A and B are shown apart, each in its own frame.
Chain A
Amino acid sequence: MSVRHALLALLSEGPKYGLQLREEFEARTGEVWPLNVGQVYTTLQRLERDGLVESDGAGEDGPQRGFRITPGGAEELTGWLRTPPDLASPPRDELVIKVLVALRVPGTDVADVIQVHRRYVVELMQQWTRIKEDGAPDDLGLALAVDAELFRLDSVIRWLDAADARVRRVAADPPGAAAGGAAAPAPASLPRLRRKAGVRR
């Protein structure tokens, strides 16, 4: 989450004070992303250093100091809105690793491990949904921010469901069973994951 660009966006509406920026930031994101006041001032100082914002009342800090966006800042903001975030490199997903490891640990009920995580994620989704339900009907920022969390968590559930179904299928019809072998599917998948996870940033 770029606090820097969020502050530029708020200043694109007109000059504002630091404290006001923090309040508006939280209101616009449905208070889903809390922000402390120190973070706001540190970010504003950097923006000022980079020539993206200007302040009045030079030298004095505090709530009375106003900020406005510069033409350079407006250009930076426009460019950022259209720059896709880094979705290409897969994150090192701890949950995926846990399930892959569960396949290798003798005596582990993988379906049970999957269910523990499924329940936890559904509980998180229930909490987010309750926040959306309790929000004001016209609070678009809240609905969008909560939807983003819900879709992200939903994709985790869908992966868990697919993993569950695959594990069941393999258990019902193990590969190599006809040949008398007891080959598990896991050995091939772990080293590959390790390689992939290793290239992350």
Chain B
Amino acid sequence: MSVLELRAVSKVYGEGPAQVQALRGVSLAVEAGALVAVMGPSGSGKSTLLTIAGSLEDPTSGEVLVGGSALAGMSRNERARLRRRSIGYVFQDFNLLAGLTAAENVALPLELDGVGAGKARTAGLAALAELGLADRAARFPDELSGGERQRVAIARAVVGERRLLLADEPSGALDSVNGEAVIRLVRAACQRGVAGVIVTHDAQLASWADRVVFLRDGRVADQTAPPNPESLLAPGPRP
């Protein structure tokens, strides 16, 4: 079963002459353990796709299913619980709360979900340790480097029992080596069974995905075949 499924999703903003069709009948399924990258030029609908997949916005038509359940059939409370419990978000600008330490930032979604403070803290520390940030747990965001802040954001996105990780340009303004460290963490989360979707215009970042989907004018224009590294190391003339 797909963790995320979009069925013929369309999204229209505005009305009349100012109307913008951001998505036009997009269908996409992401299995547990898979990482899918969505590429496309500015205005192709990448970010809209991500906010709709994360139930932060409703489609104008079509269906979104997370863990097999249609979002349209859920009450506001059920959707809010799903967002807190099952979906992790990573944004380009990290979105960490400045007044909370790294550990508190990571534990926050669990606490909002009603998990006791002690238990949430333990889970938060475990997620930080997994990302090599155990010794940064008590630091505030402005005491961390850009790379560390993004790792905290990823820890917060994968803490607890999250099944779906949604990331918008997750390596943001990081240099290529720090950016690679971030995407390796996303890959590691996927290898533990999380379904991941990253939206990016960076082909190097997208090349970590199992599948790259190309959006154009709100439609899925194309997608890559599964990678086969063996073909590159085969003897014979090189490309």
B95 at interface by CB-CB < 8 Å: no
Of residues 201 through 239 on chain B, the ones whose CB sits less than 8 Å from some CB of chain A are 201, 203-204, 206-209, 212, 214, 216, 221-225, 227-229, 231-233, 235, 239
B11 at interface by CB-CB < 8 Å: no
Q: How far is the CA of A124 from the CA of B231 in the complex (A)?
A: 10
Q: What range describes how many residues of B lie at the interface?
A: 20 to 34
Interface size on A, residues (CB 8 A): 30
A129 partner residues in chain B, CB cutoff 8 A: 204, 207-208, 227
Of residues 23 through 47 on chain A, the ones whose CB sits less than 8 Å from some CB of chain B are 31-32, 34
A31 partner residues in chain B, CB cutoff 8 A: 233
A17 at interface by CB-CB < 8 Å: no
Minimum Cβ distance to chain B for residue A43 (Å): 19
Q: Which residues of A contact B (CB under 8 A)?
A: 31-32, 34, 111, 115, 118-119, 121-131, 133-134, 147, 150-151, 153-154, 157-158, 161, 164-165
A165 partner residues in chain B, CB cutoff 8 A: 41
Query: Contact at B227–A126, with CB atoms within 8 Å?
Result: yes
A134 partner residues in chain B, CB cutoff 8 A: 229
Q: How far is the CA of A153 from the CA of B202 in the complex (A)?
A: 12
B201 partner residues in chain A, CB cutoff 8 A: 161
Q: How far is the CA of A17 from the CA of B222 in the complex (A)?
A: 51
A128 partner residues in chain B, CB cutoff 8 A: 207, 229, 232
B107 at interface by CB-CB < 8 Å: no
Minimum Cβ distance to chain A for residue B106 (Å): 25
